[in-house]
Structure 1
């Protein structure tokens, strides 16, 4: 056993039944980004609540997601689920996400919850604020519970916003900073579905800025972000 294996918690895997194996086999991979207009792309906007910020030891406790389709938030396509963690202990993170151990113990079984969520995602690209964290945590949960390799494209709204709105001078700002900048109102923060919804509202504003700057497809958005990252790295030296 190497050091990284020792640092990770031992996860007791629940064997998949035949129906779950069929559902797993039917899950699509992430679609290749193309030149369709941004408003014609279905997007899944994701937010996770976790037991902490350690990407090797902490666990996903709840998933909230909303869909952007046809250029608008589709409130008919919402996903919200608390994941059962029978060995979860009270931690300082409960003061942020508000999920008591009793609620987590009564949540959905991880295999069922993660299969439901990936069926909800389909082959859509995923948007999240500070997406690398959500991507890593979700990928780890999927690997541990389903032995599934996450292949979907993730876009980080925390990168898209400063790239498109450099005049705001909010390069390293948080979600609250950007919601205030655009005059958005978050009903509830640090709740997965509420955070996903306000992130989706922010994304729609940013897509409008992108179109005005000639960035009107998922492929062009990905390319622009790659160029912006290289420019930021050059300027940091």
Structure 2
């Protein structure tokens, strides 16, 4: 998610057509984390590729997602979309990381259509992501800009969950690549939204198994444990 300086500034959202308004109105209300094992709740693992890391100026370029259901990654439930972004200048070296050249972005789906299709795929399911705070902010801003829609789905951060459940790994601030290497996972194509979502889902399943062994098989409890750990880390030391 390195900068794409050749992208134009965000434009004001155009009025939504009646079909998009009707589809938006049919979206279900989000479900909270259940006080139940992960195997009893559908979860959606999300990864975004963006034009950079600026939370206020950069844009979502592509969305990749996969569902976890019945305690396993459901390969029949996958989502991928590249959003149409019209570049005006030649791309920089960041294309070598994402592979999202101006031609690919210009051929993408309209942002409102792509984002609404993702929300329909998501349904009422909670979300998982690696470094979820960034994805949550970028997705929320994109939904507001393109659909005038507020994101209210709960997120569980796999980057927080991993060191909580595997402190012996010594990866307190480990990147996704670090955890992929730790558990010997295979990534089809790094910095590709769908492939990163899939490997994040596989990592999450390993962590859920660890959680069961530690008596933390409750999604709501896992979210609370991550929040307590975050507060301890942010508390001032004297």
TM-score (structure 1 length as normaliser): 0.92
How does 1:171-186 map onto structure 2 within 5 Å? 171-186=172-187
Paired residues for 1:54-93 under 5 Å:
54-87=54-87, 89=89, 90-93=91-94
Q: Give the Cα separation in 2 of the matches to 1:188 and 1:46.
A: 15
Q: Is the 8 A contact 1:88 1:105 kept in 2?
A: no
- Per-residue deviation at 1:236? 6.0
Deviations 1:192-234 (A, max 9, x none): 0000000000000000011111111221111111122223334
Q: Give the secondary-structure state (helix, strand or coil) at the position aligned to 1:222.
A: helix
Which string of whole-angstrom CA distances, capped at 9 and with x for unpartnered residues, describes residues 162-185 of structure 1?
Answer: 000001110101001001101111
Query: Shift of residue 235 of structure 1?
Result: 8.1
Aligned-pair CA distance for 1:186:
1.0
Find the aligned partners of 2:131 and 2:164 in 1 and give their Cα distance.
Answer: 14
Deviates more, 1:197-206 or 1:15-24: 15-24
CA change 1:122–1:147 in 2 (3 A) is same
| Residue 94 to residue 153, structure 1, CA distance change in 2 (3 Å) | same
Structure-2 residue corresponding to 1:117: 118
Q: Which residue of 2 aligns with 1:5?
A: none
Mapped to 1, the partners of 2:10 and 2:64 lie a distance apart of 25
Distance, in Å, in 2 between the alignment partners of 1:149 and 1:54 is: 20
**Aligned counterparts of 1:35 and 1:81: Cα–Cα separation in 2:** 32
Alignment length (residue pairs) = 230
Q: CA RMSD in A?
A: 1.6
Q: 1:123-154: CA deviations, max 9, x gaps?
A: 11111111111111100100000010100111
What SS does the corresponding residue of 1:104 show, helix, strand or coil? Answer: helix
* Residue 41 of structure 2: aligned partner: 41
Task: Please give the secondary structure, in 1, of the residue aligned with 2:66.
Answer: strand
SS across alignment from 1:148: coil
Can you give the 5+ residue segments of structure 2 that lack an aligned partner in the other structure?
1-7
Distance 1:131 1:92 in 2: 26
Listed as ranges, the gaps of 5+ residues in structure 1 are: 1-7
Contact map agreement 1:142 1:148 (CA 8 A) in 2 = yes
TM-score computed with the length of structure 2 as normaliser = 0.92
